[in-house]
Amino acid sequence: MAKGMVCAPQPEAVEAGAMVLKSGGNAVDAAIATALVQTTVDPFMSGIAGFGSMHVYLPDFETHQCLDFHARAPLGVKEDMWLDKLLHECEDGFGFILEGRVNEVGYQSIATPESLRAYDTALKKWGTKSLAEVIQPAIEYAANGWMIRPHVRRFWEQVEPGGRVEHIEYLRGSPATAKIYLNADGSMKPMGGVITNTDMAKTYSRIAKAGADDFYEGEIASKIVADMEANGGLITAEDLKKAGPEDTELLWTDYRGYQIASSPPPGGGIMVLEMLNILENFDLAGMGLNSPEYIRTVAEAMKIATVDKDKHVGDPRFVDIPLDMLLSKDYAKKMADKIKSGEKTHVPRFQKGEDQKETTHLCTVDAQGNCVTMTHSLGMPSGVTTEGLGFVYNGCMGVFDPRPGMTGSLAPGKSRFTSMAPSMVFKDGKPMLLIGAPGGTYIAMGVLQGILNVIDHGMDAQQAVSAPRFSATSDIIEIVNRIPRFVQAELEADGYKFRRYPLNFHFAGVHAIRLTEKGMDGGADPGRDGMALAV
Q: Which residues are catalytic?
A: 359
Using the 8-state DSSP alphabet, how is residue 399 labeled? G
Nearest-angstrom CA–CA distance, 464 and 454:
6
Q: Name the helix (H) or strand (E) containing 108.
A: none
φ/ψ of 428, rounded to 5, equals 55, 40
Q: Name the helix (H) or strand (E) containing 274.
A: helix 269-279
Nearest-angstrom CA–CA distance, 271 and 273:
5
Closest residue by Cα to residue 40 from 212, 196, 211, 154: 196
Distance in angstroms between the alpha carbons of the first and the last residue of the chain: 9
Dihedral, CA of residue 311, residue 316, residue 322 and residue 327, to nearest 10: 100
Say if strands 497-500 and 476-479 run parallel, antiparallel, or are unpaired.
parallel
Strand partners, 54: 67, 374
Contact 456, 257 (CB under 8 A): no
Contact 37, 10 (CB under 8 A): yes
> Is omega for the bond preceding 266 within 30 degrees of 0, making it cis?
yes
Contact 111, 72 (CB under 8 A): yes
- Helix, strand, coil % (nearest 5) of the chain? 40, 20, 40
Cβ contacts of 167 within 8 Å, gap of 6 or more: 155, 156, 157, 158, 159, 160
Strand, coil or helix: 405: coil
- Reduce the secondary structure of 168-230 to three states and give it as a string: HHHHCCCHHHHHHHECCCCCECCCCCEECCHHHHHHHHHHHHHCCHHHHHCHHHHHHHHHHHH
Nearest-angstrom CA–CA distance, 241 and 215:
9
What are the distances in angstroms from CA 419 to CA 7, 13, 47, 423? 20, 23, 18, 12
